[in-house]
Amino acid sequence: MLRINEESPMDHLRKLSVELGATFKEGVGASSLILNNKNGKGYINLYELFPGLLVRTYNLELANELVLSLTKNEYSPLYLIFCLEGSYSHSYNGDDSLKTISEGRNLISLTSEHEEHLLKLPAKVRLKLSVIVILREDINSNKLKLKGNIRTVMKDIVLKMEHGDSYRFIGGLKNPIGRHAKILIENKRTDLAGKLITESATYGTLAAQLDDHDNSFSTEEKIGIRDVELERVIKLCSYISSNIHKPHTVKELAFKSGIYEKKLQEAFNFLFNQSVAECIKNMRLEKGKELLETTNIKIANICDEIGINSHSYFSKIFYEKYGLGPQEYRESLESAEWVFELSYKSKAKLYLSDVEVSDLVKKADRVNKVNSITGCLVHYEDDFFQLLEGPKARVLELFEKITADGRHEEVELLWKGPRKRRIFDNIGLILISDRKKFTDDQSVGDLGLDMQTILSNTSPSSIRDLQFWQHVRNRIHLMNAS
């Protein structure tokens, strides 16, 4: 049985990927598990919309039943689960009587502290499920800068949560949640447009689920937009996101999508609860935020990349949305609370002798410690994988030097971005190698990191793949998490 701790949702998806032999794609604030092997087919996406509000969407068919244990920690989250297709069973606290939640049902569940909520996902059934998770600790935190309605709604939900112990509500069959949930669940994307779609569809689903609970939902959806048109709007978003540096007008977008301007505005309103212009502005801001998080590009140049031609306007709207200015936001990521991670794979140009590898690692270990950089270097046959973590500017600077190093080639970036904690405390650079000499020498055992574990369940032919090294990165993260 797989236990899930909501404190680290990214790690549980990672864990599930490793267990199912699935591909795990990790982005900033969004990640996805892609399954296409003997264990099943489909995907699970995870989005962190802001600290305290997470969404997991399941759209998959498993070969074998999967049991997930959702809680038993001090966080007692609120779950809003909607089953769009298929069915699943669940039980509480080892209670034998499993209840089946069928297609079209809405389940709202607040699990009290240390209570266990088991979710059984069936074998050989196409399952489409959305799970919205609300963590009250984070919502209550003063650090959270939410604006407008969403702040009021979240605070309201948290207040409701504080009154009861455990709580369940199973909604009726005929409810209007499905349309929002369908968009949420069937959205495969985890890029900029995908995140925006998820954010809006989550609020739509959340509102419909709560309305279903309060029994006050007003009959039917009032919009006359067909699903095929909504799909075209979603495609249009992807066009905008890849051309975010350009100016866009409603007229041009109407022409591109073949949907009249007025209807296009209505569709954006339904999907995003925003006008076309607001939605594009938010996409520019999200992209800007991502560039602030993952690069050292000057803010003036970020403005060019996101199609905003005034630095001061960017600062103003960034402040309005995130509660602090772009420079301030960038600096906050340099604070002790955050660490920047970068991982890549590469190939040795020529064979490196034991002495050469040892010298490289010894020197790097010394220099990294001085720069508050920690990490590991996996050396397998002629391949390298390196994970570096530390202050963003220093990690990026070091990566530039490493990329230019003549001892290796084909340097391919696997992931970069901020994270909450380090994996390797007090280690400048640790070597994990397939060569006997090093496995005897080094104390990698303390960390539970060794070549055998890293390579377990791996066929030699896959070692050249990028996916294999992504898998290695996942294992390294999990070793630290467990």
Task: State the Cα–Cα distance between residues 404 and 384, nearest whole angstrom.
Answer: 15
| Whether the Cβ atoms of residue 389 and residue 313 lie closer than 8 Å to each other | no
Question: Is 407 one of the binding residues for ligand FMN (CB under 6 A)?
Answer: yes
Of the two residues 155 and 407, which places its CB atom closer to ligand FMN in the complex?
407
Question: Is 394 one of the binding residues for ligand FMN (CB under 6 A)?
Answer: no
φ/ψ bin of 410: left (φ > 0), alpha (ψ from -120 to 50), beta (otherwise): left
Task: State the Cα–Cα distance between residues 357 and 431, nearest whole angstrom.
Answer: 9
Pairing of strands 430-433, 374-380: parallel
Question: Is 364 one of the binding residues for ligand FMN (CB under 6 A)?
Answer: yes
Question: Is 367 one of the binding residues for ligand FMN (CB under 6 A)?
Answer: yes
Stretch that binds ligand FMN, among 254-262, 273-281, 285-293, 401-409 (CB under 6 A): 401-409
> Which residues pair with residue 134 across a beta bridge?
53, 78
Question: Is 303 one of the binding residues for ligand FMN (CB under 6 A)?
Answer: no
Task: State the Cα–Cα distance between residues 128 and 136, nearest whole angstrom.
Answer: 26
Q: Which of 185, 57, 170 is nearest to 105 (CA)?
A: 170
Please identify which residue in 83, 264, 429, 472 interacts with ligand FMN, judged by CB under 6 A. Answer: 429
Question: Is 386 one of the binding residues for ligand FMN (CB under 6 A)?
Answer: yes
| Whether the Cβ atoms of residue 66 and residue 48 lie closer than 8 Å to each other | no
Stretch that binds ligand FMN, among 9-17, 156-164, 400-408, 435-443 (CB under 6 A): 400-408
Token pair listed for 159? 């207040």
Question: Is 285 one of the binding residues for ligand FMN (CB under 6 A)?
Answer: no
Question: Is 405 one of the binding residues for ligand FMN (CB under 6 A)?
Answer: yes
Question: Is 225 one of the binding residues for ligand FMN (CB under 6 A)?
Answer: no
Question: Is 398 one of the binding residues for ligand FMN (CB under 6 A)?
Answer: yes
φ/ψ bin of 40: left (φ > 0), alpha (ψ from -120 to 50), beta (otherwise): left
Helix (H) / strand (E) containing 313: helix 311-322
Of the two residues 402 and 423, which places its CB atom closer to ligand FMN in the complex?
402
Question: Is 401 one of the binding residues for ligand FMN (CB under 6 A)?
Answer: yes
138 Cα distance to chain centroid:
17
Stretch that binds ligand FMN, among 87-95, 260-268, 364-372, 467-475 (CB under 6 A): 364-372
Q: Which of 250, 272, 293 is nearest to 195 (CA)?
A: 272
Please identify which residue in 368, 433, 470, 474 interacts with ligand FMN, judged by CB under 6 A. Answer: 368
Question: Is 473 one of the binding residues for ligand FMN (CB under 6 A)?
Answer: no
Question: Is 472 one of the binding residues for ligand FMN (CB under 6 A)?
Answer: no
Task: State the Cα–Cα distance between residues 40 and 60, nearest whole angstrom.
Answer: 7
For the CB of residue 399, give the shortest distance to ligand FMN in the complex, in Å: 9
Question: Is 111 one of the binding residues for ligand FMN (CB under 6 A)?
Answer: no
Alpha-carbon Rg for the chain, nearest whole angstrom, is 24
Of the two residues 33 and 339, which places its CB atom closer to ligand FMN in the complex?
339
Q: Using CB under 6 A as the criterion, which residues of the chain lie in contact with ligand FMN when the complex forms?
A: 360, 364, 367-368, 377, 384, 386, 398, 401-402, 405, 407-408, 429
